[in-house]
Amino acid sequence: MVAVRRFSWLAAAVCLLAPILGAVGASAQGGGGVALGEVLSRNELIAAQESLLNVYRCRFDVDTEIVPGGCVDGQPAGGPTQPDPFEGTPTENDIAVRDSLIQAQESLLNTYRCLFKIDAQIVPGGCNRIAVPIRNSIWVMDGDGEDAKQIVTRDQFAVPDASPYLSSPVWSPDGTRLAFVVNYHEEPWDGMSDRSEIWAVNGDGTGLRNLTGSGSPEFQNIFELSWSPDGARLAFRSYCCDRQRRDARSDLRIMDADGANGVELAKVSGQRAYSWSPDGSRIAYSSGPTKHIRVANAVGTIQRRLAFIDADYGPVWSPDGRRIAVGVASSTDNRKEIWVFGADGSNRRRIATSDYEFGSPRQRGELGFSWSPDGAQIAYFDVQGADVILTAIRADGSNKRQITTLEGTPSPPNWSPDGTRIAYSTGNTTVTQNGTTSIALALWVAFADGTKQQQLASGPVYSHYLSWSP
């Protein structure tokens, strides 16, 4: 019964805010002098927000010392906060003081919502920032596209003999830094980089630093960059070959976050061919050229085969570390599948199937998927004829639901850490001498419950490399 009372308190406080917010908005738009009702409506809103703050404080055991009467059974002992009365003639200063307090309360409410992952869907812009390459620069923005800032530009990497292209920005686990890749290639571009470097920068664009030096032949093309969960190391894939793709090799490498102590871990193949375990102790990867799933400790000294399955996308560890998911494509019947199995390789289960036309550039991005942050669902693109449908399904294969339908070449979906939004893109395809490259024309975010979608940016947006901040 205690849990029921907690949620009823929370629901009542949230419901109370809606009509009061409407009344404040209406009065603020009126003309003339300051009416008593403008002050009283703000007092009601302040009391309602303070009531909700106290509910959060008691429920999550934070700042409980400032809750009047303290907390009992996870709820405020003193009940809802009552609005202050007002006497005298209201002034503009009375309104300004209350508006400042309302803004401060809302800021603290949003801090609690993001910290404790509750009601995050009503936080403007969500709880997580996006980093993404747009028009060959690294941009960061809120989850609704607001407060967009260009923190790194290609001009900062200009060299006389090649053109720089920026990609793969990834947030550090503490959300303070970004690592990213600079690929250099001669013009006209034939789809191959000549050398690649890994750089790091603070989230505000300061502290730019080259982690790998001026590049080497073995770092011809770097991609799939990721931080270890503790932020101490970086993993990445390096691809190397000559212009005719002879002697090609794709290596999984690990180095310290400052660029030191780099080692090769394994040969890998497929898309998103590896992932860290949530505790950072292991890495699962698709072993090239067989694409069987193997797991190694984080320094590569102990490796073992985990599953006999040809993974074309993944393996991707679930957020709780208990399961691993992979994408498998079949050229014989033009189908793709998502499989989930235990972290020890047991209980393998196919949870989803979909059309997948081999050789069709339109569908190259549709093999990807993304775990929800609670590990309960997986988002993927369900292809049905000409329709590409962003879909969520539970990790056991039940409760499949449609989120939105899109057109064009999609990038893999990317679920925000607060669980409220899924980023994706649509675009077109550029065919070069050495391969096919998908370039998104627009970056979109859809609410995970399917209630809303929004375009955040126009392209070219290389949203295959999009990263959410923690």
What six digits make up the tokens of 423? 């980023």
The answer to whether residue 460 scores a pLDDT higher than 60 is yes
The model's pLDDT over 166-196, given as tens digits with 9 standing for 90+, comes to 989 999 999 999 999 998 877 766 556 678 8
What six digits make up the tokens of 465? 């490399």
Highest mean predicted confidence (pLDDT) among 15-19, 341-345, 406-410: 341-345
Mean pLDDT of the chain: 83
**Please, where in the chain does CATH 2.120.10.30 lie?**
136-152+183-190+253-468
CB 374 within 8 A of CB 319: yes
Over residues 313-327, mean pLDDT: 94
Residue with tokens 């993993």: 235
Q: Which of 62-66, 292-296, 360-364, 442-446 has the lowest mean pLDDT?
A: 360-364
The model's pLDDT over 55-82, given as tens digits with 9 standing for 90+, comes to 999 999 999 999 999 999 999 999 999 9
What H or E segment, with its residue span, contains residue 49? helix 36-60
Percent of the chain's residues with pLDDT above 70: 81
CB 177 within 8 A of CB 171: yes
CB 184 within 8 A of CB 194: yes
d(CA 355, CA 106): 46
- Using CA atoms, how far residue 419 sits from 36, 147, 168, 233, 423, in Å, is 41, 21, 22, 26, 11
Q: What is the DSSP string of 398-426?
A: ---EEEEEE-S-PPPPEE-TTSSEEEEEE
Q: What is the largest CA-CA distance in the chain?
A: 85
- The tally of CA atoms less than 13 A away on the side-chain side of residue 243 is 7
Percent of the chain's residues with pLDDT above 90: 53
The answer to whether residue 47 scores a pLDDT higher than 90 is yes
Question: Greater confidence, 457 or 56?
Answer: 56
Supply the angle between the helices 36-60 and 92-116 in degrees, to the nearest 10. Answer: 20
Q: Which of 58-72, 151-165, 300-314, 341-355 has the lowest mean pLDDT?
A: 300-314
Sign, CA torsion 447/399/318/438 = negative
Peptide linkage before 90 cis (omega within 30 of 0): no
In the chain, count of helices (H) and strands (E)?
A: 3, 30
> How confident is residue 364, by pLDDT bands cut at 50, 70 and 90?
very low
Over residues 253-273, mean pLDDT: 87
Over residues 6-14, mean pLDDT: 42
The answer to whether residue 25 scores a pLDDT higher than 90 is no
What H or E segment, with its residue span, contains residue 304? strand 303-307
d(CA 191, CA 1): 62
Contacts 24+ apart (CB under 8 A), 91-100: 91/34, 92/34, 94/34, 94/39, 95/34, 95/38, 95/39, 95/42, 98/39, 98/42, 98/43, 98/46, 99/42
The model's pLDDT over 266-316, given as tens digits with 9 standing for 90+, comes to 888 777 889 999 999 999 998 876 678 889 988 777 788 887 778 888 899
Q: Say what the pTM is.
A: 0.83
- Using CA atoms, how far residue 185 sits from 26, 239, 311, 448, 459, in Å, is 57, 14, 30, 38, 21
The answer to whether residue 463 scores a pLDDT higher than 80 is no
Output the pLDDT for position 367: 77
The answer to whether residue 420 scores a pLDDT higher than 80 is yes
Q: Which of 68-77, 133-142, 326-335 has the lowest mean pLDDT?
A: 326-335
The answer to whether residue 98 scores a pLDDT higher than 80 is yes
Output the pLDDT for position 437: 52
As a CATH number, domain 136-152+183-190+253-468 is 2.120.10.30
d(CA 283, CA 119): 33
The model's pLDDT over 196-245, given as tens digits with 9 standing for 90+, comes to 899 999 999 999 999 988 655 556 788 889 999 999 999 998 877 655 55
Sign, CA torsion 113/323/171/175 = positive
Output the pLDDT for position 366: 66
The answer to whether residue 1 scores a pLDDT higher than 90 is no
Output the pLDDT for position 217: 52
